[in-house]
């Protein structure tokens, strides 16, 4: 009797892993393609060749050293997509400084936590973005943060003063600093919303993100002739790894259509810059396809791109291929803790595989589907937890060994918390989530973080947050709130409490009041029942468990 094939795959590859640091790899690319464009920031009217970009990276790296930033120190970057963000990414890496990505949507409550938990010595921030006044929030945070020595705002005299300091650092000192770095050194901390309380800082090395960016680019068949439109945010792996590092490891060009996403600006950038690749989460592609002037844009230069962040409806994929000409568009799956990509579809995969699955194992990575209770590898066709192992797995959560041990087991398997099935050909289909994570338009939202924040409201006795389906964003957050006795708290009061203190995508779209929650016999809240009640409640807005 034949035994079942294990739900395990190894991305054996004849293409070796890169062994250098991010800074050295950029220098090599700049030497090969000095006159090719590396970065175009359309909102800033800025165009940098590889030679110019590399020189600017050197200047900013020397400026960081002049400020006293040592290898291993942390530098927070809090800004929408700008050329300076990309320069800082590579400059920090060249100087051995750990870049701490801060979501531009964060408000004071979240900013203070991230700066304190990571121990940032320096914060580089924009002045403002949309309705966020970064200057005011940074000023409010600084007095309560020990160790934050420098706050610099882009486009202000403080940024110019930082750059002027580069003259105080001998280029030989920078070369010596860079030569002393190792590819295994931590170089980036990215915060992911925590299932219990506050976000966790995933600590990533040169080796992690440089190689992941390189092999994502290989999956898209990138060369130095490609021009990648990157409207996804830099603070996330999608922008800085799959965008910047995929480009610089291949000598390609990155085009920033604007500081934030705006569909018309993206379409204009693709047309004007003759972009060959376009990145985005499904909601971005939907907005571009629905733009009233869509048919007037020339998108004939497009060849490939990446859709990731949440499942893609098959009709959207068809339109992206047929109406946008992206015949080689790929789907990628991953998580911040794995740098991020573990699986990817390829250009030769048929439409069904590019929509119904998240592709097959990435080069030099191991994946499996395991029984979450026993830890044993299941057979192909069985549902279990998707796990991954290899060069891309993070070093750990910053200064949080307990949660690191919960995520990465003794055999170095990263537990994603996602439920998956591997078919006989090795394609992975994500079928659900073991955790309660909500994916809203590509943003990971963990209910526990919102719940803990809601508990700080004096009129809220208890709060439970679940995800509910949404046609545009995939999911939205719904908060089930138990009011304190005598409280007249309204739904709008709850949302107003969150606005300005939580990132906009974490603010519950729906709020329902109840007396208590459906519980298990062991006293655990049955969130699956809350989700069922939520679905009813959206159809019949006042439905709630034991509604008041």
Residues 6+ apart with CB under 8 A from 118: 74, 76, 100, 189, 201, 398
Q: Provide the pLDDT for residue 539.
A: 54
CATH match for 438-539 among 1.10.287.540, 3.40.50.80, 3.30.300.30, 3.30.1310.10: 3.30.300.30
Q: Which residues pair with 78 in a beta bridge?
A: 102, 125
pTM, two decimal places: 0.85
CA–CA distance, 484 with 461 (Å, rounded to integer): 5
The mean-pLDDT minimum among 73-77, 204-208, 270-274, 480-484 falls in 480-484
CA–CA distance, 270 with 490 (Å, rounded to integer): 45
Q: CA of 173: how far to CAs of 25, 89, 118, in Å?
A: 19, 19, 26
Q: Give the start-to-end residue ranges of the domains of the chain.
A: 438-539
Would you state the structure tokens that stand for residue 166, as one six-digit string?
A: 């580069």
Q: Provide the pLDDT for residue 517.
A: 86
Give the confidence band of 531 by pLDDT, cuts at 50, 70, 90.
confident
Residues 6+ apart with CB under 8 A from 289: 316, 319, 320, 323, 324
Check if the beta carbon of residue 83 is closer than 8 Å to that of residue 41.
yes
CA–CA distance, 62 with 59 (Å, rounded to integer): 5
* Three-class SS of 247-302: HHCCCCEEEECCCCCCHHHHHHHHHHHCCCEEEECHHHHHHHHCCCCHHHCCCCCC
Position with higher pLDDT, 136 vs 193: 136
Give the confidence band of 391 by pLDDT, cuts at 50, 70, 90.
very high
Q: CA of 407: how far to CAs of 80, 127, 187, 212, 382, in Å?
A: 30, 36, 20, 20, 22
Query: Does 522 score more than 60 pLDDT?
Result: no
Name the helix (H) or strand (E) containing 327: none
Helices (H) and strands (E) in the chain, counts: 18, 28
Q: What average pLDDT does this structure show over 367-387? A: 95
Q: Provide the pLDDT for residue 461.
A: 83
CA–CA distance, 222 with 330 (Å, rounded to integer): 12
Check if the beta carbon of residue 185 is closer than 8 Å to that of residue 210.
no
Check if the beta carbon of residue 468 is closer than 8 Å to that of residue 476.
yes
From the list 291, 355, 348, the residue with the least C-alpha distance to 323 is: 291
Q: Provide the pLDDT for residue 87.
A: 98
Query: Does 451 score more than 80 pLDDT?
Result: yes
Give the confidence band of 351 by pLDDT, cuts at 50, 70, 90.
confident
Q: Provide the pLDDT for residue 286.
A: 86
Residues 6+ apart with CB under 8 A from 437: 193, 195, 417, 444, 445, 446, 447, 467
Q: What average pLDDT does this structure show over 94-106? A: 96
Name the helix (H) or strand (E) containing 188: strand 186-192
Query: Does 195 score more than 50 pLDDT?
Result: no
**Residue 349, Cα to own-chain centre: how many angstroms?**
25
Q: Provide the pLDDT for residue 542.
A: 36
- Burial call 323-348: b when 16+ CB within 10 Å, e when fewer: ebbbebbbbbbbbbbbbbbbbbbbee
Residues 6+ apart with CB under 8 A from 105: 132, 503, 504, 505
State what percent of residues in the chain have pLDDT above 90.
77
CA–CA distance, 493 with 52 (Å, rounded to integer): 51
Name the helix (H) or strand (E) containing 473: none
Q: In what order do the strands lie in the sheet with 74-78?
A: 150-153, 122-125, 74-78, 98-102, 186-192, 200-205, 396-397
Query: Does 455 score more than 90 pLDDT?
Result: no
Check if the beta carbon of residue 385 is closer than 8 Å to that of residue 434.
yes
Give the confidence band of 370 by pLDDT, cuts at 50, 70, 90.
very high
Q: What is the DSSP string of 195-256?
A: SSSS-EEEEEEHHHHHHHHHHHHHHTT--TT-EEE--S-TTSHHHIIIIIIHHHTTT-EEEE
227-229/200-205 β-pairing: unpaired
Query: Does 254 score more than 90 pLDDT?
Result: yes
Strands of 402-538, DSSP E: 414-422, 428-433, 438-440, 443-445, 460-470, 474-483, 510-513
Query: Does 503 score more than 90 pLDDT?
Result: yes
Check if the beta carbon of residue 74 is closer than 8 Å to that of residue 48.
no
Query: pLDDT averaged over the chain?
Result: 92
Q: What average pLDDT does this structure show over 496-523? A: 85
Position with higher pLDDT, 109 vs 361: 361
> pLDDT of 18-65, one tens digit each?
999 999 999 999 999 999 999 999 999 999 999 999 999 999 999 999
CA–CA distance, 235 with 79 (Å, rounded to integer): 8
Give the confidence band of 193 by pLDDT, cuts at 50, 70, 90.
low
> pLDDT of 144-175, one tens digit each?
899 999 999 999 999 999 999 999 999 999 99
Q: What average pLDDT does this structure show over 78-90? A: 98
Q: Provide the pLDDT for residue 523.
A: 52
Q: Provide the pLDDT for residue 196.
A: 45
CA–CA distance, 376 with 411 (Å, rounded to integer): 12
Give the confidence band of 1 by pLDDT, cuts at 50, 70, 90.
low
Query: Does 546 score more than 60 pLDDT?
Result: no
Give the confidence band of 432 by pLDDT, cuts at 50, 70, 90.
low
């Amino acid at each position: 009797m034949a035994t079942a094939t294990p739900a395990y795959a190894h991305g054996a590859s004849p293409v070796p892993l890169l062994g250098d640091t991010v800074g050295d790899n950029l220098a090599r690319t700049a030497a090969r393609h000095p006159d090719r464009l590396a970065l175009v920031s359309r909102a800033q009217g800025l165009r940098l060749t590889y030679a110019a970009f590399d020189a600017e990276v050197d200047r900013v790296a020397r400026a960081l050293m002049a400020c006293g930033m040592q290898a291993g120190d942390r530098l927070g970057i809090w800004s929408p997509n700008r050329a300076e963000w990309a320069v800082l990414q590579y400059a920090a890496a060249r100087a051995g400084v750990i870049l701490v990505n801060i979501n531009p949507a964060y408000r004071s409550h979240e900013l203070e936590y991230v700066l304190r938990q990571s121990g940032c010595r320096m914060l580089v921030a924009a002045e403002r973005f949309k309705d966020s006044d970064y200057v005011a929030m940074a000023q409010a945070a600084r007095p309560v943060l020990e160790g934050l020595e420098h706050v610099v705002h882009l486009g202000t005299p403080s940024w110019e003063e930082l750059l002027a300091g580069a003259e105080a650092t001998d280029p030989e000192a920078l070369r010596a600093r860079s030569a002393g770095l190792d590819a295994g050194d931590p170089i980036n901390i990215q915060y992911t919303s925590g299932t219990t309380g506050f976000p966790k800082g995933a600590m990533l090395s040169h080796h992690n993100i440089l190689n992941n960016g390189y092999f994502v680019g290989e999956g898209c068949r990138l060369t130095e002739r490609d021009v990648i439109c990157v409207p996804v945010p830099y603070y996330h792996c999608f922008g800085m790894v799959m965008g910047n590092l995929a480009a610089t490891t291949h000598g390609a060009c990155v085009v920033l259509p604007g500081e934030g996403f705006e569909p018309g600006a993206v379409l204009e950038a693709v047309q004007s810059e003759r972009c060959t690749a376009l990145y985005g989460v499904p909601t971005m592609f939907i907005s571009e396809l629905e733009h009233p002037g869509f048919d007037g844009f020339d998108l004939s230069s497009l060849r490939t791109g990446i859709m990731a962040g949440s499942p893609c409806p098959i009709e959207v994929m068809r339109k992206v291929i047929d109406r946008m000409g992206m015949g080689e568009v790929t789907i990628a799956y991953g998580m911040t803790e794995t740098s991020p990509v573990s699986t990817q579809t390829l250009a030769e995969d048929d439409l069904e595989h590019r929509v119904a699955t998240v592709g097959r194992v990435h080069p030099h990575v191991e994946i499996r589907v395991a029984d979450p209770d026993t830890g044993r590898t299941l057979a192909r066709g069985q549902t279990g937890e998707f796990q991954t192992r290899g060069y891309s797995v993070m070093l750990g959560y910053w200064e949080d060994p307990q949660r690191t041990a919960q995520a990465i087991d003794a055999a170095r398997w990263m537990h994603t918390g996602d439920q998956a099935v591997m078919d006989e050909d090795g394609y992975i289909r994500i079928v659900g989530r073991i955790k309660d994570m909500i994916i809203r338009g590509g943003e990971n939202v963990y209910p526990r973080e919102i719940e803990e924040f809601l508990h700080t409201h004096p009129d809220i006795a208890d709060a439970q947050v679940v995800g509910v389906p949404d046609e545009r964003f995939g999911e939205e957050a719904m908060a089930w709130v138990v009011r304190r006795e005598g409280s007249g708290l309204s739904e709008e009061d709850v949302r107003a409490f969150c606005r300005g203190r939580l990132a906009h995508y974490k603010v519950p779209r729906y709020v329902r009041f109840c007396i208590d929650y459906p519980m298990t016999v062991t006293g655990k809240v049955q969130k699956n029942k809350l989700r069922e009640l939520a679905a009813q409640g959206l159809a019949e807005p006042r439905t709630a468990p034991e509604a008041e």
